[in-house]
Amino acid sequence: MKNCQEIVTRATVELPREESLRLLAGVSYGRVVFTRNALPAVRPLNHLLDEDGTIVVRTSLSSRLTSTVRRQPGVVVAYEADDIDPARQLGWSVVVIGIARPVTEPERIARYREQLRPWVEGPMDSIVAIEPTLVTGVRFVEK
């Protein structure tokens, strides 16, 4: 392994959709990007990847994301997750762009509440599903 202070040449390698979704499924936290008052807003969230590739997040009813999704069902959002070694600056990043909708079916709500535990205190009583329309991923590697 190279000394972290040595100059290392890095390259990016584009990842196929399937591998990007597999990597996303392997981590539990990411960031959602949405529009708030005509400006971009970014919030960290925990997530799960459903069998069909849908990204599912839990938020509180009072959150800005929940308000946006309820006000504009079918709003376009981005979701990003990564795993990058801060010392070596190697790893990967995945960005999903898709349609966000509130989950309203009682059986899906119950299943997601069981599978996706809140990671911050307070009520996380809203569930949002993001349909992955565009999935891009890159791996940061030594050259």
pLDDT in tens, 22-47: 999 999 999 999 888 888 989 899 89
pLDDT in tens, 55-83: 999 886 557 776 777 777 788 999 999 99
126 within some domain: yes
Both tokens assigned to 46:
């925990």
46 is in which domain, residue-wise?
Answer: 21-142
Q: Rounded distance, CA 46 to CA 112, Å?
A: 12
114 within some domain: yes
- What is the percentage of the chain residues whose pLDDT exceeds 90? 52
9 within some domain: no
111 within some domain: yes
Predicted confidence at residue 5, as pLDDT, reads 57
Assign 124 a pLDDT band (cuts: 50, 70, 90): low
Domain count, the chain: 1
Assign 116 a pLDDT band (cuts: 50, 70, 90): confident
16 within some domain: no
Predicted confidence at residue 67, as pLDDT, reads 77
Q: Rounded distance, CA 72 to CA 109, Å?
A: 20
DSSP-derived pairing of the beta strands 75-84 and 55-59: unpaired
Give the pTM. 0.86
Mean pLDDT of all residues in 89-98: 96
Predicted confidence at residue 76, as pLDDT, reads 92
3 within some domain: no
Query: 28: closest CA among 67, 79, 91?
Result: 79
Q: How far is CA 136 from CA 14, 20, 104, 132, in A?
A: 8, 7, 28, 10
Q: Rounded distance, CA 118 to CA 45, Å?
A: 9
Q: Which helix (H) or strand (E) holds 67?
A: helix 64-71
* CATH number reported for the structural domain that contains residue 71 in this entry: 2.30.110.10
